[in-house]
Amino acid sequence: MATIDIDPQYSGVIYNGGGGNLVERTVLDNGVRILTEVMPGQKAVSIGFWIGVGSRDEQPSGYGSTHFLEHLLFKGSANYTGWDISEAFDRVGGDVNAATAKESTCYHARVINTNLAMAVDILTDMVTAPLLESEQMDTERGVILEELAVDSDDPAYVVHESLAEQVLLGHPLGRSIGGTPEVINSISREDMVSHYNRWYRPEQLVITAAGGLDHKELVQTVSAALSRSGWMSPESNLIQTPAPRRDHHAEFPVMNTERLTLTRPVEQTAVMVGGRGLNTVDPRRFAMTVMNVILGGGMTSRLFQEIRERRGLAYSTYSFAASYSDLGYFGMYAGCHPAKADEVIEVMSTELDTLAQKGVTADELERAHGQIAGNVVLGLENTEARMSRLGRAELVTGQYT
């Protein structure tokens, strides 16, 4: 299938896969965008309410506020208490959760299609009318501090965050999504309300859904819920066009090329080697995906074979690539005994040099193509993956593939 560009103002069919598989997009009068994919034969529906704000958009005094706000939206809204939200989904065997990323926040649910209207009503109320009460904020502050403590005790998490910080030195994308204990302790309710008012607006909202659904019915359901919330009111003078997508052009920040060692009282050493990568729309990103699979994307990858199978240096080793709207980075990871860390680093560096100088074999290329194709097909068997793909297409790339 070809890549299809999505015009910001377009409403209509984006893709018709035949057999009832249909991808559609509607832009409401207040700028809210709704994208759906019908999956014939599915009774489940996954739906996501995406806000175009992530940790990269925070002010220095509010690092972690986007993630903090995500937690608070589950603590109560105009028409639902925190208990009501949880109980409604538990009662029908559904799931509701949220995720804060560096460039977006998503509140998502998975339900049987007969319960989709309920999910829309609750998610709409959470996003448009959260209470943000001081008492709940103080309670959730403690939860987040414990979450940060758990992360700081995980060597793999620490080196992943440290690599991003060193490669994207001084850039907001290099910061941890959760923030720091110092900043989390200092954030006030006024700060949180200000952050909410700045970003939680109709033009920033994207709603995506996939599964056993009807696009027109969902648009009507969402419109009714937004009208009840006041986000469709003509008297509110709301912006009528969707917020623009992020710029894909940026100058890469200075990168720290020095070796960084962090000491923790743990048995294993977590090793990470990496550098600059590609943004989400760079035409070389497809080659990067193939290279990543060959280097460290499975049991037949070069890192796995050399570090684990031949040398027995580590149990877990892999490579990855992280891409954002304007920047990206890549890395190689292994967890090993402290005495073996230098050898692991040497192997990683050697594998990169070999890849650059000698390229890949025809067999590796064929195997990588097959692995990627299979992973894509298997991944799209579930409604949540397809819902997320629509969100990424709308907010990040502006392209449906």
Active site residues: 70
Q: Who's near 81: CB < 8 A, 6+ residues apart?
A: none
Report the chain's C-alpha Rg in angstroms: 22
Q: How far apart are CA 18 and CA 26, in angstroms?
A: 20
Element (H, E) at 37: strand 33-38
Q: How far apart are CA 318 and CA 334, in angstroms?
A: 7
Q: Which long-range contacts (CB under 8 A, 24 or more apart) does 127-130 make?
A: 127/49, 127/51, 127/73, 127/200, 127/205, 128/77, 128/200, 128/226, 128/229, 128/230, 128/231, 129/77, 129/78, 129/79, 129/229, 130/72, 130/73, 130/75, 130/76, 130/77, 130/196
Q: What is the dihedral of CA 332, 335, 338, 343, to 10 degrees?
A: -40
Which of the 8 DSSP states describes residue 168?
Answer: T
Q: Which two tokens stand for residue 129?
A: 């009318």
Element (H, E) at 210: strand 205-211
